[in-house]
Amino acid sequence: MPSMFPLAATFRRLRPGRRWADLPLRIKGLLVAAVPLAAIPVAYTCARNGGGVPRARLEASALLGLAGGALAILLFTSAIARTVEGLAGDAARLAQRLPLSPRSPARDEFGRLGQALESLGASLRQSDQERDRFFSLSLDLLCVATLDGRFRRVNPAFTTTLGYSESDLLSKSILDLTHPADRESTAARIQELAQGHPIAYFENRLRCADGSYKWLAWSSAPFLAEGLAYSVARDRTSQKLDEQALRRSTARLESVLESITDGFFAVDPAWRLTCVNPQAERLWTRPRHALIGRNLWEVFPEEVGGPFHRLYGEAVRTGAPAHFEEFYSPFNRWFEVHAYPSTEGLSVYFRDVTERRQAEDKVSRALKEKEVLLREVHHRVKNNLQVICSMLRLQAGRSNDETLSQVLRDCRERVMAMAMLHDQLHRAKDLSNINLGEYCRNLASSMFCSYGVNSAQIELRMEVEDIPAPFDTAIPCGLIVHELLSNALLHAFPAGHKGRVWLILRAQPGRRIELTVSDDGSGFSEGRSAGGARSLGLRLVDLLAEQIDASVERSSQSGTLCRLLFPAK
């Protein structure tokens, strides 16, 4: 690398009798200083034959050429500052040696030249300090290396990242630290630098002091004249680990999608198919290579405007997942579909549920047939119970024994209570449960009507909630209500006394149900004969309460109260 411009090139820039203009000096494109080089008259002819000009002036001209050439060529190294300082000293010494008068313009010009060079040297020293500060404080890894890969200088980030001392690194080559799998590619890149080709981006792994490896991303520029390469590197270990984890996750996902029994496909925002798994190939009876990259609605044009087109479009438009089952007539199959929109398009899982739908339809038809049959059974049972009630009423009407007539009447009322339940089940939509509240209301109203109760004399008050109950719970509850209401109507209000009867049915905490029948009549005596009709009714209540696991509480302090608490089923 030449250290200065040739002197002949320097003098060729001069014109006879002319002055040099101010020369802007730039280093690597950065304006460093403007050095005034005017007012030095040099005869062009003297430059050719060496006569007419003192030797000291020729040395001064050569010194100026040296300064201009050095400043234009040297690249921000500490040598620039030292060279400029040396030139300033030489200019001062030459000014003293020249046989010039104290007021000579040439002496003044040499003085200004010396001051300009000193100022330039100070600027270069400051630039050198700023460069060193940037080199030391940079978070990126900066280094200078020879073109065969040996470190010449590294910054603190380099030593911190790899864990070596600076002296350890300066004694090694980049290839000494390179991962075995990356040495061949790294050596090829070093060879490219040696041939003068810059490297915009390159990744490899370097060994750390603890034996681990870090991924570095490099950018390098060679300077063949100096035999050096200037490089910047950045630690990408965490990003590479994230990328590896992402690749493993993607591989697992692809493995799952390839092996699942559901069909899967994905489309981009333009509805182009980007992924189709083997099960989707089988269900669609189309090869994957003929689908990827094609528009979904070009593959299935008959579905444009259909339910799949509408539901997929709605999912993409709203951003909400879509779950549905639809029949696809070209395949004569039912599909269960789960569609998930995203910014990348739409991902769809689907499966053939034709056999399941056919089985469900078969079961549904069978259930409807059984439901019709069961309603018919309830209807026939109700009719038969009504026939029994009619026979009991006829028998009671023909009997002259009042006691027997009352017994027959009680039996008829009990049968009628069961008939009402079968009638309600016959009309109900749900045959597995009955509305217990509705049943109790109807039963109480029917009994008041059957017993010919004058509502002005005996008032019925009901606090009844609609509670679903199975058939085997509703039958005992209905009979219990019948027994308790009949006892109240027959025994609580003798000789036409007025009063009130309460029927309460409500849900309690802990999935329990409360059933209470009370009145404000004369009450009852626990010591009454067990053979009486009233005692028979109470025994029936206890037996029926056991069937529904109910606890029974009785009170006769202010009339009669019977409270049952049983679990909801």
In the predicted structure, residue 57 carries a pLDDT above the cut 60:
no
3-state secondary structure of 536: helix
Domains 138-241 and 261-350 share a fold: yes
Superfamily assignment of 138-241 in CATH?
Answer: PAS domain (3.30.450.20)
Instruction: Catalogue the E-assigned strands of 408-498.
Output: 433-435, 458-464, 468-470
- Residue corresponding to tokens 């449960």: 433
pTM of the entire predicted model: 0.41
**Which is more confident, 308 or 86?**
308
Q: Residues near 334 by Cβ (< 8 Å), separated by ≥ 6? A: 325, 326, 327, 328, 352, 353, 354, 356, 357
Confidence of residue 426 (pLDDT cuts 50, 70, 90): low
Alpha carbon distance 315, 338 (integer Å): 10
Alpha carbon distance 125, 127 (integer Å): 5
What are the pLDDT digits (tens) for 218-270?
999 998 988 999 999 999 999 988 988 988 988 888 888 888 889 999 999 99
- Residue corresponding to tokens 């493993």: 248
In the predicted structure, residue 60 carries a pLDDT above the cut 50:
no
- The pLDDT of residue 5 is 32
- How many C-beta neighbours within 10 Å does residue 285 have? 7
- The pLDDT of residue 81 is 55
Helix (H) or strand (E) holding 167: helix 166-170
Query: How much of the chain exceeds pLDDT 70, in percent?
Result: 70
Q: Determine the angle formed by the axes of helices 105-137 and 78-97, rounding to 10 degrees.
A: 170
Alpha carbon distance 115, 121 (integer Å): 10
In the predicted structure, residue 71 carries a pLDDT above the cut 90:
no
**Which is more confident, 174 or 27?**
174
For 529, the token pair is: 């004969």
In the predicted structure, residue 390 carries a pLDDT above the cut 90:
no
Strand pairing report for 512-519 and 499-508: antiparallel
- Residue 222 burial (C-beta neighbours within 10 Å; 0-12, 13-18, 19+): buried
What are the pLDDT digits (tens) for 458-513?
889 999 999 998 878 888 888 888 889 888 888 888 777 888 999 999 999 989 99
Distances (CA, A) of 121 to 78, 311, 484: 10, 76, 119
Q: What ranges do the domains of the chain cover?
A: 7-136, 138-241, 261-350, 353-431, 434-569
Alpha carbon distance 370, 378 (integer Å): 12
Confidence of residue 327 (pLDDT cuts 50, 70, 90): very high
Confidence of residue 410 (pLDDT cuts 50, 70, 90): confident
Alpha carbon distance 77, 1 (integer Å): 14
For CA atoms 53, 59, 63, 65, give the dihedral sign.
positive
In the predicted structure, residue 320 carries a pLDDT above the cut 90:
yes
- Residue pair 141/235 in contact (Cβ under 8 Å)? The answer is yes
Residue among 157, 185, 159 nearest 172 (CA): 159
Q: Residues near 523 by Cβ (< 8 Å), separated by ≥ 6? A: 492, 556, 557, 558, 559, 560
Least trusted range by pLDDT, from 223-237, 416-430, 548-562: 416-430
Helix (H) or strand (E) holding 68: helix 55-73
| CATH 3.40.50.720 correct for 261-350 | no
- The pLDDT of residue 470 is 86
Q: Determine the angle formed by the axes of helices 533-547 and 471-487, rounding to 10 degrees.
A: 160
Q: What angle do CA 528, 534, 537 make, to 5 degrees?
A: 125
Q: Residues near 102 by Cβ (< 8 Å), separated by ≥ 6? A: none
Q: Which fold has domain 434-569?
A: Heat Shock Protein 90 (3.30.565)
Instruction: Catalogue the E-assigned strands of 236-277.
Output: 263-267, 273-276
3-state secondary structure of 433: strand
Mean pLDDT, residues 398-426 taken together: 74
Q: Determine the angle formed by the axes of helices 55-73 and 105-137, rounding to 10 degrees.
A: 20
- Residue corresponding to tokens 């005996």: 458
In the predicted structure, residue 293 carries a pLDDT above the cut 80:
yes
For every residue of 274-302, DSSP letters joined together read EEE-HHHHHHHTS-GGGTTTSBHHHHSGG
3-state secondary structure of 226: coil
Alpha carbon distance 526, 7 (integer Å): 141
For 493, the token pair is: 């209000």
Alpha carbon distance 109, 132 (integer Å): 34
Alpha carbon distance 539, 480 (integer Å): 10
What are the pLDDT digits (tens) for 428-451?
666 677 888 888 888 888 888 877
In the predicted structure, residue 156 carries a pLDDT above the cut 50:
yes
Confidence of residue 296 (pLDDT cuts 50, 70, 90): very high
